[in-house]
Amino acid sequence: QICLSLVKLLFYLAHSPLGSIVLLDFQPRQFVMVDGNLKVTDMDDASTEELSCKEDNDCTLEFPTKSFPLKCSTVGKCEGINEKKNLFNAYRYFFTYLLPHSAPLPLQPFLRDILNATGDLRYGINETLKAFEKVLHLYKSGLYLQKRPLLLKEYISLKGFRTVEAEDYKCWPSYSHLGCLLSVHSAEEAAAICSSQSQCQSFIVTQQRTWTGRPLASFQSSPTDLIPDVNAVVYIKRSASSGERL
């Protein structure tokens, strides 16, 4: 969410009515999340000036660990230097820390491609935004889910009940510090996750939604302490001892 919002912001800066805007003091502390969108807190160090040049050799974009040769345009400006500087800083300060582990396994190759392409500046901001929107579409639609045996049939469903929220086994990246609370596309995906975790014996798909509209599923090591809830369904492994009693 943070990286996509940042890319949308940089897309606007690259195509702003004032021209391509560069953030000269590009640091994480310069940004804040407001209602799910990343905002710049200080525009004092923003500039629309692009580096003047006479030849291509005047247009080297330098960073502490990398440098990139750019072209000198016919009007004597280094082509796309502001856009590329913003994009590489996004790679340095955000993408390298947030992208590698922030998606289901089938989507991680797409994020690695974005990471490598922006790290080498093979992508401009237009291509980067398009790549992020593709990943988001796959994530929201569930199209990333690989064809696999249907595992939900291995669970008993108890409609009209939910489990009591309590501290349980931890997983990553959980939305709750009390236990294992993960975003899923459907109960079928939740069943696949539960089946892959040795501690998991039951799960419930909650009414909570993430910023993408996907529900959160709570996974438990014990399906005890059920309480009535007309809007809920508890799924219990048939192999669980409590499932056998049921």
Could you state, in order of their start, the residue ranges of all structural domains in the chain? 1-144, 152-242
pLDDT band at 244 (very low <50, low <70, confident <90, very high): very low
* Average pLDDT estimate for 133-151: 88
How many other C-beta atoms can be found within 10 angstroms of the C-beta atom of residue 206? 17
What CATH number has the domain spanning 1-144? 1.10.510
> Tokens in use for 106?
């089938």
User: 9: helix, coil or strand?
Assistant: helix
Region for 212 from its dihedrals, namely left if φ exceeds 0, alpha if ψ lies in -120 to 50, beta otherwise: alpha
For the cut 80, the answer to whether the pLDDT of residue 155 exceeds it is: yes
Intrachain domains 1-144 and 152-242 with the same fold: no
pLDDT (tens digit, 9 = 90+) per residue, 63-104? Answer: 988 999 999 998 999 999 999 999 999 999 999 999 987 788
At residue 241, the pLDDT reads: 47
HEC per residue, 120-176:
CCCCCHHHHHHHHHHHHHHHHHCCCCCCCCCCHHHEEEEEEEEECCCCCCCCCCCCC
Where in the sequence numbering do the catalytic residues fall?
Answer: 25
At residue 204, the pLDDT reads: 93
Burial of 132 (0-12, 13-18, 19+ CB in 10 A): buried
CA separation for the pair 126, 130 (Å, rounded):
6
At residue 185, the pLDDT reads: 93
pLDDT band at 3 (very low <50, low <70, confident <90, very high): very high
What CATH number has the domain spanning 152-242? 3.50.4.10
User: 190: helix, coil or strand?
Assistant: helix
Instruction: Tell me the pLDDT of the chain averaged across its residues.
Output: 89
